[in-house]
Amino acid sequence: MGKRNLKEDLQVDLKTNYENRNSGGMQGAQYLNMKADDRSFIKLKKGKNAIDIIPFVRGTDLFKGKKKGSVASMLDVFIHGYFNQAYDKCICMKRTFGKPCAICEERSILKDMEEPDSKEERKKLEKRIRSLTAKQRALACVINLKEDEDDENNGQIQVLDESYFLFATPLLEEACADEDGGPVNYAYPDGGKEVHIRGGMKKMKIGNPFLEFQKFDFEDRDEEYDEDIVDYDYEDDVLDHGAFSLDSLLIIPTYDEVKAMLEEGAILPEKEDDDEEDEAPTPKKKRKGKKVAKPEPEPEEEVEEADDDEPENKCPYGHEFGTDFTDKIECDACKKKTPDTFRSCATN
Protein backbone atom coordinates (compact mmCIF):
# COMPACT_ATOMS: atom_id res chain seq x y z
CA MET A 1 0.00 0.00 0.00
CA GLY A 2 1.39 3.37 -1.03
CA LYS A 3 1.99 6.18 1.37
CA ARG A 4 -1.03 8.37 2.02
CA ASN A 5 -0.93 12.09 1.32
CA LEU A 6 -3.09 12.78 4.35
CA LYS A 7 -3.09 16.56 4.15
CA GLU A 8 -3.98 16.64 0.44
CA ASP A 9 -6.68 13.96 0.82
CA LEU A 10 -8.32 15.81 3.69
CA GLN A 11 -8.21 19.10 1.78
CA VAL A 12 -9.98 17.45 -1.16
CA ASP A 13 -12.52 15.88 1.20
CA LEU A 14 -13.17 19.23 2.91
CA LYS A 15 -13.68 20.98 -0.42
CA THR A 16 -16.04 18.23 -1.63
CA ASN A 17 -18.08 18.38 1.57
CA TYR A 18 -18.33 22.16 1.27
CA GLU A 19 -19.50 22.01 -2.34
CA ASN A 20 -22.11 19.37 -1.43
CA ARG A 21 -23.24 21.00 1.83
CA ASN A 22 -26.70 21.83 0.46
CA SER A 23 -27.15 18.84 -1.80
CA GLY A 24 -29.45 16.92 0.53
CA GLY A 25 -28.13 13.47 -0.34
CA MET A 26 -27.93 11.64 -3.63
CA GLN A 27 -28.32 13.78 -6.72
CA GLY A 28 -30.02 12.36 -9.79
CA ALA A 29 -28.73 12.27 -13.33
CA GLN A 30 -28.83 15.61 -15.09
CA TYR A 31 -29.35 16.79 -18.66
CA LEU A 32 -26.36 19.15 -18.84
CA ASN A 33 -22.70 18.17 -18.70
CA MET A 34 -21.37 20.50 -16.01
CA LYS A 35 -18.45 18.30 -14.95
CA ALA A 36 -15.66 20.79 -15.48
CA ASP A 37 -14.00 23.33 -13.19
CA ASP A 38 -15.07 26.26 -15.37
CA ARG A 39 -18.77 25.35 -15.50
CA SER A 40 -21.26 26.51 -12.90
CA PHE A 41 -24.86 27.63 -12.61
CA ILE A 42 -25.95 31.12 -11.68
CA LYS A 43 -28.65 31.28 -9.03
CA LEU A 44 -30.96 34.27 -9.38
CA LYS A 45 -32.29 35.51 -6.04
CA LYS A 46 -35.13 37.35 -4.40
CA GLY A 47 -34.73 41.09 -4.82
CA LYS A 48 -32.47 42.78 -7.37
CA ASN A 49 -30.47 40.80 -9.93
CA ALA A 50 -28.34 42.11 -12.80
CA ILE A 51 -26.79 40.04 -15.58
CA ASP A 52 -25.22 40.36 -19.01
CA ILE A 53 -26.47 37.72 -21.45
CA ILE A 54 -23.62 36.52 -23.69
CA PRO A 55 -24.33 34.96 -27.12
CA PHE A 56 -22.91 31.52 -27.87
CA VAL A 57 -21.97 29.56 -30.99
CA ARG A 58 -23.93 26.38 -31.64
CA GLY A 59 -21.64 23.37 -31.56
CA THR A 60 -24.05 20.81 -33.02
CA ASP A 61 -26.74 20.28 -35.65
CA LEU A 62 -29.13 18.80 -33.08
CA PHE A 63 -31.86 21.40 -33.56
CA LYS A 64 -33.75 21.42 -36.83
CA GLY A 65 -33.06 24.59 -38.81
CA LYS A 66 -30.30 25.67 -36.42
CA LYS A 67 -26.94 25.02 -38.06
CA LYS A 68 -23.70 24.30 -36.26
CA GLY A 69 -21.66 27.50 -36.11
CA SER A 70 -24.69 29.82 -35.96
CA VAL A 71 -24.99 32.25 -33.05
CA ALA A 72 -27.81 32.30 -30.49
CA SER A 73 -28.58 34.16 -27.27
CA MET A 74 -30.74 31.49 -25.64
CA LEU A 75 -31.44 27.77 -25.91
CA ASP A 76 -34.84 26.36 -25.02
CA VAL A 77 -35.33 22.66 -24.32
CA PHE A 78 -37.99 20.46 -22.76
CA ILE A 79 -37.01 18.24 -19.85
CA HIS A 80 -38.48 15.54 -17.67
CA GLY A 81 -37.61 15.84 -14.00
CA TYR A 82 -38.23 14.04 -10.72
CA PHE A 83 -40.14 11.16 -12.32
CA ASN A 84 -38.42 8.35 -10.40
CA GLN A 85 -36.83 7.52 -7.06
CA ALA A 86 -33.44 8.85 -8.15
CA TYR A 87 -34.93 12.29 -8.99
CA ASP A 88 -33.36 12.11 -12.44
CA LYS A 89 -33.67 14.81 -15.07
CA CYS A 90 -33.34 14.17 -18.79
CA ILE A 91 -34.06 15.82 -22.13
CA CYS A 92 -37.52 15.14 -23.51
CA MET A 93 -36.60 13.81 -26.93
CA LYS A 94 -40.17 14.18 -28.22
CA ARG A 95 -40.84 17.81 -27.30
CA THR A 96 -37.26 18.95 -28.00
CA PHE A 97 -36.33 16.98 -31.12
CA GLY A 98 -39.52 15.23 -32.26
CA LYS A 99 -38.11 11.78 -31.50
CA PRO A 100 -39.63 8.90 -29.47
CA CYS A 101 -39.60 9.40 -25.70
CA ALA A 102 -40.35 6.56 -23.27
CA ILE A 103 -41.60 8.97 -20.60
CA CYS A 104 -44.03 10.70 -22.96
CA GLU A 105 -45.30 7.29 -24.05
CA GLU A 106 -45.92 6.30 -20.42
CA ARG A 107 -47.73 9.58 -19.82
CA SER A 108 -49.94 8.98 -22.84
CA ILE A 109 -50.85 5.51 -21.59
CA LEU A 110 -51.79 6.83 -18.17
CA LYS A 111 -53.91 9.61 -19.67
CA ASP A 112 -55.85 7.04 -21.72
CA MET A 113 -56.40 4.52 -18.92
CA GLU A 114 -59.71 4.02 -17.16
CA GLU A 115 -60.22 6.43 -14.32
CA PRO A 116 -59.80 4.89 -10.84
CA ASP A 117 -62.77 4.50 -8.53
CA SER A 118 -61.53 6.30 -5.45
CA LYS A 119 -60.73 9.99 -5.14
CA GLU A 120 -57.36 9.14 -3.59
CA GLU A 121 -56.35 6.94 -6.51
CA ARG A 122 -57.50 9.59 -9.00
CA LYS A 123 -55.30 12.16 -7.27
CA LYS A 124 -52.34 9.77 -7.40
CA LEU A 125 -52.95 9.21 -11.09
CA GLU A 126 -53.16 12.94 -11.82
CA LYS A 127 -50.01 13.58 -9.81
CA ARG A 128 -48.16 10.83 -11.66
CA ILE A 129 -49.24 12.25 -15.03
CA ARG A 130 -48.02 15.71 -13.99
CA SER A 131 -44.68 14.26 -12.91
CA LEU A 132 -44.22 12.81 -16.40
CA THR A 133 -45.07 16.07 -18.19
CA ALA A 134 -42.14 17.73 -19.98
CA LYS A 135 -41.35 21.28 -18.89
CA GLN A 136 -39.73 23.97 -21.02
CA ARG A 137 -36.45 25.43 -19.79
CA ALA A 138 -34.48 28.47 -20.93
CA LEU A 139 -30.68 28.16 -21.00
CA ALA A 140 -28.28 31.07 -21.49
CA CYS A 141 -24.66 32.08 -20.91
CA VAL A 142 -24.59 34.99 -18.48
CA ILE A 143 -22.29 37.06 -16.30
CA ASN A 144 -23.55 37.99 -12.85
CA LEU A 145 -23.10 41.74 -12.29
CA LYS A 146 -24.09 41.60 -8.63
CA GLU A 147 -21.53 40.79 -5.97
CA ASP A 148 -22.16 37.34 -4.55
CA GLU A 149 -19.72 36.15 -1.90
CA ASP A 150 -21.37 32.71 -1.84
CA ASP A 151 -20.52 32.10 -5.52
CA GLU A 152 -16.82 31.63 -6.27
CA ASN A 153 -17.58 31.86 -10.02
CA ASN A 154 -19.33 35.20 -9.73
CA GLY A 155 -18.21 37.58 -12.49
CA GLN A 156 -17.32 34.75 -14.88
CA ILE A 157 -19.51 33.23 -17.58
CA GLN A 158 -22.05 30.90 -16.00
CA VAL A 159 -25.04 28.88 -17.21
CA LEU A 160 -28.51 30.19 -16.47
CA ASP A 161 -31.21 27.49 -16.31
CA GLU A 162 -34.70 28.80 -15.59
CA SER A 163 -38.32 28.10 -16.41
CA TYR A 164 -38.99 29.34 -19.94
CA PHE A 165 -42.41 30.66 -18.96
CA LEU A 166 -41.22 32.47 -15.83
CA PHE A 167 -37.96 33.87 -17.26
CA ALA A 168 -37.75 33.90 -21.06
CA THR A 169 -41.36 34.87 -21.79
CA PRO A 170 -41.41 38.12 -19.76
CA LEU A 171 -37.83 38.93 -20.84
CA LEU A 172 -38.71 38.67 -24.54
CA GLU A 173 -41.99 40.52 -24.07
CA GLU A 174 -40.18 43.42 -22.42
CA ALA A 175 -37.43 43.45 -25.06
CA CYS A 176 -39.99 43.63 -27.88
CA ALA A 177 -42.49 45.93 -26.15
CA ASP A 178 -41.53 49.03 -28.13
CA GLU A 179 -42.78 48.26 -31.64
CA ASP A 180 -41.72 51.64 -33.03
CA GLY A 181 -38.16 51.52 -31.69
CA GLY A 182 -37.62 47.85 -32.48
CA PRO A 183 -36.54 45.09 -30.10
CA VAL A 184 -33.81 45.68 -27.52
CA ASN A 185 -30.75 43.70 -28.64
CA TYR A 186 -29.61 43.10 -25.07
CA ALA A 187 -27.26 40.21 -25.94
CA TYR A 188 -25.07 41.91 -28.52
CA PRO A 189 -21.47 42.05 -27.21
CA ASP A 190 -20.79 45.61 -28.40
CA GLY A 191 -23.81 47.80 -27.72
CA GLY A 192 -25.90 45.33 -25.73
CA LYS A 193 -27.69 46.03 -22.48
CA GLU A 194 -27.48 44.93 -18.87
CA VAL A 195 -30.58 42.98 -17.87
CA HIS A 196 -31.90 44.00 -14.45
CA ILE A 197 -34.37 41.59 -12.90
CA ARG A 198 -36.45 41.86 -9.77
CA GLY A 199 -37.46 38.58 -8.17
CA GLY A 200 -40.13 37.97 -5.58
CA MET A 201 -41.41 34.90 -3.78
CA LYS A 202 -44.75 33.71 -5.11
CA LYS A 203 -47.02 31.82 -2.72
CA MET A 204 -49.33 29.14 -4.07
CA LYS A 205 -52.35 27.46 -2.49
CA ILE A 206 -50.45 24.17 -2.54
CA GLY A 207 -46.73 23.59 -2.10
CA ASN A 208 -43.77 25.79 -1.33
CA PRO A 209 -43.29 29.39 -2.55
CA PHE A 210 -41.12 29.85 -5.64
CA LEU A 211 -39.14 32.68 -7.20
CA GLU A 212 -41.15 34.71 -9.68
CA PHE A 213 -39.45 37.28 -11.92
CA GLN A 214 -41.61 40.36 -11.59
CA LYS A 215 -39.77 43.02 -13.57
CA PHE A 216 -37.19 43.25 -16.36
CA ASP A 217 -35.31 46.46 -17.23
CA PHE A 218 -32.49 47.18 -19.67
CA GLU A 219 -29.65 49.56 -18.85
CA ASP A 220 -26.50 50.66 -20.66
CA ARG A 221 -23.41 48.61 -19.93
CA ASP A 222 -20.43 50.17 -18.18
CA GLU A 223 -18.12 48.24 -20.52
CA GLU A 224 -18.64 46.49 -23.83
CA TYR A 225 -17.40 43.03 -24.80
CA ASP A 226 -15.25 42.00 -27.73
CA GLU A 227 -17.11 39.87 -30.29
CA ASP A 228 -14.63 37.06 -29.60
CA ILE A 229 -16.42 36.42 -26.31
CA VAL A 230 -18.96 34.30 -28.19
CA ASP A 231 -16.24 31.76 -29.09
CA TYR A 232 -15.46 29.17 -26.43
CA ASP A 233 -11.81 28.07 -26.63
CA TYR A 234 -11.13 24.89 -24.69
CA GLU A 235 -7.39 25.64 -24.79
CA ASP A 236 -7.75 28.92 -22.93
CA ASP A 237 -7.38 29.31 -19.20
CA VAL A 238 -10.60 28.08 -17.63
CA LEU A 239 -11.33 31.46 -16.10
CA ASP A 240 -10.69 33.40 -19.30
CA HIS A 241 -12.78 32.03 -22.12
CA GLY A 242 -15.85 32.78 -24.18
CA ALA A 243 -19.42 31.57 -23.94
CA PHE A 244 -20.19 27.88 -23.59
CA SER A 245 -21.70 26.12 -26.58
CA LEU A 246 -24.89 25.27 -24.73
CA ASP A 247 -26.17 22.66 -27.18
CA SER A 248 -22.83 20.85 -26.83
CA LEU A 249 -23.42 20.59 -23.07
CA LEU A 250 -26.71 18.70 -23.52
CA ILE A 251 -26.64 15.04 -22.50
CA ILE A 252 -28.62 13.25 -25.21
CA PRO A 253 -30.03 9.93 -23.93
CA THR A 254 -31.06 6.96 -26.04
CA TYR A 255 -34.64 5.69 -25.91
CA ASP A 256 -33.51 2.62 -23.94
CA GLU A 257 -31.61 4.76 -21.43
CA VAL A 258 -34.71 6.87 -20.74
CA LYS A 259 -36.85 3.75 -20.46
CA ALA A 260 -34.40 2.24 -17.95
CA MET A 261 -34.46 5.45 -15.89
CA LEU A 262 -38.25 5.38 -15.89
CA GLU A 263 -38.65 1.69 -15.03
CA GLU A 264 -35.75 0.97 -12.70
CA GLY A 265 -36.20 4.06 -10.59
CA ALA A 266 -39.97 4.01 -10.43
CA ILE A 267 -41.65 3.73 -7.03
CA LEU A 268 -43.60 0.51 -6.59
CA PRO A 269 -47.28 0.53 -5.58
CA GLU A 270 -47.81 0.28 -1.84
CA LYS A 271 -49.17 -2.90 -0.16
CA GLU A 272 -49.83 -4.75 -3.37
CA ASP A 273 -49.54 -8.55 -3.66
CA ASP A 274 -47.43 -9.98 -6.46
CA ASP A 275 -50.36 -11.81 -8.04
CA GLU A 276 -52.36 -8.58 -8.25
CA GLU A 277 -49.72 -6.35 -9.88
CA ASP A 278 -51.22 -6.43 -13.36
CA GLU A 279 -54.81 -5.82 -12.32
CA ALA A 280 -56.32 -2.49 -13.34
CA PRO A 281 -58.59 -0.58 -10.97
CA THR A 282 -62.33 -1.11 -11.23
CA PRO A 283 -63.67 1.31 -13.87
CA LYS A 284 -65.94 4.13 -12.93
CA LYS A 285 -65.66 6.57 -15.80
CA LYS A 286 -63.88 5.60 -19.01
CA ARG A 287 -61.34 7.54 -20.99
CA LYS A 288 -60.38 6.67 -24.52
CA GLY A 289 -57.90 3.83 -24.93
CA LYS A 290 -57.12 0.51 -23.33
CA LYS A 291 -56.83 -0.54 -19.72
CA VAL A 292 -53.37 -0.68 -18.16
CA ALA A 293 -51.90 -1.53 -14.78
CA LYS A 294 -52.31 0.71 -11.75
CA PRO A 295 -49.98 3.73 -12.03
CA GLU A 296 -47.02 4.06 -9.74
CA PRO A 297 -47.35 6.80 -7.12
CA GLU A 298 -45.02 9.77 -7.13
CA PRO A 299 -42.29 10.43 -4.51
CA GLU A 300 -43.76 12.29 -1.56
CA GLU A 301 -41.40 15.22 -1.99
CA GLU A 302 -40.69 16.81 -5.35
CA VAL A 303 -37.34 18.49 -4.84
CA GLU A 304 -37.26 22.15 -5.85
CA GLU A 305 -40.03 21.71 -8.38
CA ALA A 306 -42.23 24.69 -7.55
CA ASP A 307 -43.51 24.60 -11.12
CA ASP A 308 -45.60 21.54 -10.19
CA ASP A 309 -47.81 23.55 -7.83
CA GLU A 310 -51.26 23.63 -9.33
CA PRO A 311 -54.22 25.54 -7.87
CA GLU A 312 -56.69 24.02 -10.32
CA ASN A 313 -56.16 21.25 -12.85
CA LYS A 314 -58.81 22.22 -15.39
CA CYS A 315 -58.74 24.64 -18.30
CA PRO A 316 -61.74 26.99 -18.01
CA TYR A 317 -61.96 27.08 -21.83
CA GLY A 318 -62.03 23.34 -22.47
CA HIS A 319 -58.42 22.81 -23.62
CA GLU A 320 -56.17 20.11 -22.17
CA PHE A 321 -54.61 21.52 -19.00
CA GLY A 322 -50.81 21.74 -19.09
CA THR A 323 -50.59 20.48 -22.67
CA ASP A 324 -52.53 22.80 -24.98
CA PHE A 325 -50.89 26.00 -23.68
CA THR A 326 -50.40 28.34 -26.65
CA ASP A 327 -50.89 31.97 -27.52
CA LYS A 328 -54.64 31.42 -27.98
CA ILE A 329 -56.99 34.32 -27.26
CA GLU A 330 -58.46 32.19 -24.47
CA CYS A 331 -55.00 31.91 -22.87
CA ASP A 332 -54.71 35.71 -22.77
CA ALA A 333 -58.13 35.90 -21.12
CA CYS A 334 -57.16 33.21 -18.61
CA LYS A 335 -53.95 35.11 -17.79
CA LYS A 336 -56.01 38.14 -16.77
CA LYS A 337 -58.92 36.41 -15.01
CA THR A 338 -57.19 33.46 -13.33
CA PRO A 339 -53.44 34.17 -13.26
CA ASP A 340 -52.60 31.29 -10.89
CA THR A 341 -54.33 28.74 -13.13
CA PHE A 342 -52.68 30.27 -16.22
CA ARG A 343 -49.22 30.13 -14.61
CA SER A 344 -49.69 26.55 -13.44
CA CYS A 345 -50.88 25.45 -16.90
CA ALA A 346 -47.99 27.14 -18.69
CA THR A 347 -45.34 25.65 -16.42
CA ASN A 348 -46.83 22.14 -16.35
User: What are 171-218's pLDDT values in tens digits?
Assistant: 999 999 877 777 899 999 998 999 999 999 888 776 678 889 989 999
* pLDDT bucket at 271, cuts 50 / 70 / 90: very low
CA atoms within 13 A on the CB side of 311: 14
Question: Stretch 49-78: mean pLDDT, rounded?
Answer: 94
In angstroms, the CA 346 to CA 321 distance is 9
Domain extents in the chain = 26-267+294-304, 310-348
Question: Stretch 108-126: mean pLDDT, rounded?
Answer: 92
Query: For position 42, what pLDDT does the model report?
Result: 93
Q: What does pLDDT average to over the chain?
A: 78
User: pLDDT at residue 281 above 50?
Assistant: no
The overall pTM is greater than 0.75: no
Q: Give percent of the chain with pLDDT exceeding 70.
A: 68
Query: For position 334, what pLDDT does the model report?
Result: 72
In angstroms, the CA 159 to CA 176 distance is 24
**CB-neighbour burial class of residue 12 (10 A; exposed 0-12, middle 13-18, buried 19+):** exposed
Q: Which residues contact 87 (CB under 8 A, 6 or more apart)?
A: 26, 27, 28, 81, 299, 303
Domain covering 26-267+294-304 in this structure, CATH number: 3.90.198.10
Query: For position 240, what pLDDT does the model report?
Result: 46
User: pLDDT at residue 66 above 90?
Assistant: yes
